[in-house]
């Protein structure tokens, strides 16, 4: 969508190419994903693992819709959750060097649980391919992945996302907690970045690091 169709934070005007997924559509899709998850797990308790930081907004909205499903239909406790931090990205490219960071997450808690990983975007699939075997070491009952976005990329690891919000074209996207150098997380829509603005954000990030 052209940028003037939706409201964009004034501090990002000129830095975006277009709106790819407006916030209302993200919400509508998240509500349906929550319903699908609820009916697939048949009311069983889920242990949700939010992948920080990009997955934080999607996680927050998804559990809001999940809570509605459970409160209407089951007397059981709906879910537990924890946070994990995984990184492989440097700027705009996936390095392939996937690192799982200590966040205080309790790996012991995974044993026997139905683990649902909540991610912002699957690109090459390397992050998920590295993380899932790590989780399996702690003997969860099942591990599934719910990702808001998956990029259509040639030569990807063909990673299959169990619950997918949207397939997106192979552009760098920001907003809804997805960042470029920590910027753009505070935008409700998912947008395609205007590449001409990258030096500006590189300089801002550099200044921030050295201040
Ligand atoms: P993968 O390992 O699948 O190549 O990369 C997954 C991770 O890279 C995502 O969790 C996300 O943090 C980051 N990533 C991949 N594509 C994009 C993108 O278009 N925009 C942003 N902001 N992050 C991305
Ligand atoms: Mg991520
Ligand atoms: Mg990032």
Token duo for residue 23: 């916030």
Specify the pLDDT at position 94.
Answer: 67
Asked if residue 68 lies in contact with residue 34, where contact means CB atoms within 8 angstroms, the answer is yes
- Mutational test site, ligand 1, from 16, 121, 175, max ligand atoms within 8 Å of CB: 121
Q: Which residue owns the Cα nearest ligand 1 atom 24?
A: 121
DSSP assignment of 58-114, as one string? HHHHHHHHHHHHHHHH-SS--EEEEEEEEEEEETTEEEEEEEEEP-S--GGGGTT-E
Specify the pLDDT at position 155.
Answer: 65
Q: Which residue owns the Cα nearest ligand 1 atom 23?
A: 178
Q: Which residue owns the Cα nearest ligand 1 atom 8?
A: 89
Distance CA 151, CA 172 (A): 9
Residue 71 CA to ligand 3 center (angstroms) comes to: 34
Question: Under DSSP, is residue 25 helix (H, G, I), strand (E, B) or coil?
Answer: helix
Choosing from 36, 123, 179, 186, the catalytic residue is: 123
Q: Is 104 exposed, middle or buried (0-12, 13-18, 19+ CB in 10 A)?
A: exposed
179 catalytically annotated? no
Q: Which helix (H) or strand (E) holds 39?
A: helix 23-41
Domains of the chain plus CATH, in order, are 24-169 (3.40.50.2020)
Q: Which residues contact 205 (CB under 8 A, 6 or more apart)?
A: 181, 182, 183
Which residues lie with the beta carbon below 6 Å from any ligand 1 atom?
54, 88-89, 94, 119-127, 172-174, 178-179
* Average pLDDT along the chain, 211 residues, taken 10 residues at a time: 94 96 98 96 92 96 93 80 83 72 84 97 92 95 98 80 97 97 97 96 92 78
Specify the pLDDT at position 19.
Answer: 98
Q: Which residue owns the Cα nearest ligand 1 atom 15?
A: 123
Specify the pLDDT at position 98.
Answer: 79
Specify the pLDDT at position 102.
Answer: 66
Atom of ligand 1 nearest to the CA of 127: 2
Query: Number of helices and strands (H, E) in the chain?
Result: 4, 9
């Amino acid at each position: 969508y052209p940028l003037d169709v939706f409201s964009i934070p004034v501090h990002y005007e000129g830095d975006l190419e277009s709106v790819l997924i407006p916030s209302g559509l993200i919400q509508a899709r998240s509500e349906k994903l929550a319903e699908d998850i609820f009916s697939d797990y048949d009311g069983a308790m889920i242990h949700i693992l939010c992948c920080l930081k990009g997955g934080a907004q999607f996680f927050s909205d998804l559990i809001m819709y999940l809570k509605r499903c459970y409160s209407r239909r089951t007397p059981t406790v709906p879910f537990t959750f924890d946070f994990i931090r995984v990184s492989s990205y440097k700027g705009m490219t996936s390095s392939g060097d996937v690192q799982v960071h200590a966040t205080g997450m309790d790996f012991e808690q995974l044993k026997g649980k139905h683990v649902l990983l909540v991610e912002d975007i699957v690109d090459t699939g390397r992050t998920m391919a590295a993380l899932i075997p790590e989780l399996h070491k702690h003997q969860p009952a099942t591990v599934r992945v719910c990702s808001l976005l998956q990029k259509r990329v040639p030569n990807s690891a063909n990673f299959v996302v169990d619950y997918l919000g949207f397939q997106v074209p192979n552009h760098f996207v920001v907003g809804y907690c997805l960042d470029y150098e920590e910027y753009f997380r505070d935008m409700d829509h998912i947008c395609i970045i205007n590449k001409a603005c990258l030096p500006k954000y590189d300089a801002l990030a550099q200044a921030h690091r050295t201040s």
